[in-house]
Amino acid sequence: MPNPNVALVRGAVTSPFKRAGRPGAALPADRIVLPAAPAAPGPLDAYRRICGFTDPGPLPLTYPHVLGFPAALRLMTARRFPLPVVGLVHTWIEITRHRPSHPADPLELTVYADELTPHRRGTEVTVVTEARLAGDLVWESRSGYLSRHRTPAVPTPGPDTAPAPDRTAPEPPALAEWRLPGDLGRRYGAASGDRNPIHLYPLTARLLGFPRPIAHGMWTLARCLAETPRPAEVHGVRADFRAPVLLPSTVTHAADATGFRLRGADGRVHLTGRTLRTPAPKAEPGT
């Protein structure tokens, strides 16, 4: 397994020599493959606890992304990767579970960069993670990471230029208020292996432009999914990370049958998402 701490140091060293938005920039064709292995029980249990997953059965929907993150970080900090990893912002993720995976399943993980797309605020890269069991694709994710830089006045068509969502759609009902402690980033980082300095301490967050540490976007998503009724029926999710959650803070979790969102005490929306569920089987006549 690639060491994420080594990758973070390499990213800090190489980022000043990379220029996002450079004409003709191309993604390397590298694919990082992690050999098939089951999930380690200790880290998985710690992840379940910090995110609120209580079902001891299948892997949480988000967990293969966590397993593949060290490889993704290694990919994005490589010398040939065109974007500086410092300042790279996780903006969205789509996850599809083709069939449930269990802790004992030896999953083979493949990570690669798929697209480099102009964005109205810079350049966005799509990173793909795939999980296979005995050669069959059982899980996959696509994540968008944004590198901000100056762009032309007229944005190039892309994912961020799609029509705005319908503001007349009803808001999902508020279900719970969560008080997030200041050390949440350190605790989640210990469970997930993502120890990006913006999540850890006030000083390291300020060095990267934040007044306080911010919660991991993947924690906010996982925490919302942990509250989803009948999580075994959820086979896919699309989430958009709208604004960082400063720590400590209080947030409100709202959800309905198909979607969820996380809102701050000031009304700011931090996360929106929608889930895809397996249809319930139809009852046989006479049952």
The string of pLDDT tens digits covering residues 63-101 is 999 999 999 999 999 888 999 888 888 999 999 999 999
Contact 137, 72 (CB under 8 A): no
* Band of residue 274 on the pLDDT scale cut at 50, 70, 90: very high
Contact 180, 212 (CB under 8 A): no
Structure confidence by residue, pLDDT tens digits, 123-148: 999 999 999 999 999 999 999 999 88
Structure confidence by residue, pLDDT tens digits, 18-66: 777 677 778 889 999 999 999 999 999 999 999 999 988 899 999 999 9
Nearest to 184 by CA among 244, 248, 227: 248
With tokens 């000083």, the residue in question is 203
* Band of residue 282 on the pLDDT scale cut at 50, 70, 90: very low
Q: What is the per-residue pLDDT for 103?
A: 96
Q: What is the per-residue pLDDT for 243?
A: 95
3-class DSSP assignment, residue 231: helix
Q: Which residues contact 96 (CB under 8 A, 6 or more apart)?
A: 139, 140, 141, 235, 236, 276
Q: Which two tokens stand for residue 84?
A: 């500086």
Q: What is the per-residue pLDDT for 250?
A: 97
Strand order in the sheet with 31-37: 31-37, 107-119, 122-133, 136-148, 89-97, 234-241, 269-277, 259-264, 249-255, 174-180
3-class DSSP assignment, residue 10: helix
Average pLDDT over residues 160-165: 44
* Better-scored residue on pLDDT, 242 or 164: 242
Q: Which two tokens stand for residue 179?
A: 């008080």
* Residue burial 33-42, b: 16+ Cβ < 10 Å; e: rest: ebeeeebeee
* Band of residue 160 on the pLDDT scale cut at 50, 70, 90: very low
Q: Is the pLDDT of residue 117 over 70?
A: yes
Share of the chain above pLDDT 90, in %: 62
Residue 230 Rama label (left phi>0; alpha psi -120 to 50; beta): left
Structure confidence by residue, pLDDT tens digits, 191-212: 998 888 899 999 989 988 899 9
DSSP alpha helix (H) spans, the chain: 4-14, 41-51, 63-76, 184-192, 202-207, 217-226
User: How far is the CA of 270 from the CAs of 66, 165, 217, in angstroms?
Assistant: 21, 15, 9
Average pLDDT over residues 177-204: 93
What value does the mean pLDDT of the chain take?
87
